A and B are shown apart, each in its own frame.
Chain A
Amino acid sequence: MILTRTRPFALLLLVVGALTAGGCATVQPWQRGRLADRRMMFDPDDAEVAYMTHWQEAREASSGGYGVQSGGCGCK
């Protein structure tokens, strides 16, 4: 209570600052060049992913479990 009586401006500034700080990170649609870079992708190389998946299927005698297309039961 003492704080709210003596420093209302500071408190308000803190609250408003905290509420609006999230807005500082707004990325406009035309500023997404770096986010769209291939290096920002989890799997930038499709051929390598296909090769590694195939290799893993052969090693583990099972397939799938990636994404949503199959459940990892080995039946594809």
Chain B
Amino acid sequence: MSGMGINRLALSLLAAVLVVLVPVWTAAAASTHTPDVVLQQADGTPVPLAAYQGKVLLVDFWASWCVPCKTSFPALDAIFREYQRRGLEVLAVNLDEERRQADVFLSAHPHQMPVLFDPKGAAPLAFGVKGMPTSFLIDKTGTIRFTHMGYSGNVDVRYRQEIVQLLSEK
């Protein structure tokens, strides 16, 4: 009887440890390598991030309600137009839970960079996004090299320096 009690205790301890540690493990999963996530185009077509392997990629997570996104969105679009010919890929990933709000924002902010959608928020979870907006600069090997959280006009110069550096790498 007492042996069974110990077994039960061991089992419950194991369960307790698992319950506590699993969220820690998932949080630690945000590595420096690009997570293998799948985003959506406006019409629902899936776009795996793995398709951009071998290219310098800027992934920006934004939402219509996020105040700094109103300035970062056009600024990143300008960066896209400037460096597109040199091989830079930019993905503006919208995280609005309601698509209608994203559409209103997009119609008010004309843009050329591709906009993808992730209303369930799987991609920012995998990337370990801590604030809005957050953008990740990924090099040709698929490694996340630079991260920018929040936005102020001052970081524009740094973006350009980092992009030029990554584009020059082989």
Contacts and interface: CB of A to CB of B under 8 A. Distances in A.
B15 interface: yes
Interface residues of B, number: 30
Nearest to A15: B16
B63 A16 contact: no
A28 B63 contact: no
B112 interface: no
Contacts of A13: 12, 15
Contacts of A36: 65-67
B12 A20 contact: no
10 contacts: A8-B5, A9-B11, A9-B12, A13-B12, A20-B20, A28-B121, A30-B121, A30-B124, A30-B129, A33-B64
Interface of A: 5, 8-9, 12-13, 16, 19-20, 23, 28-34, 36-37
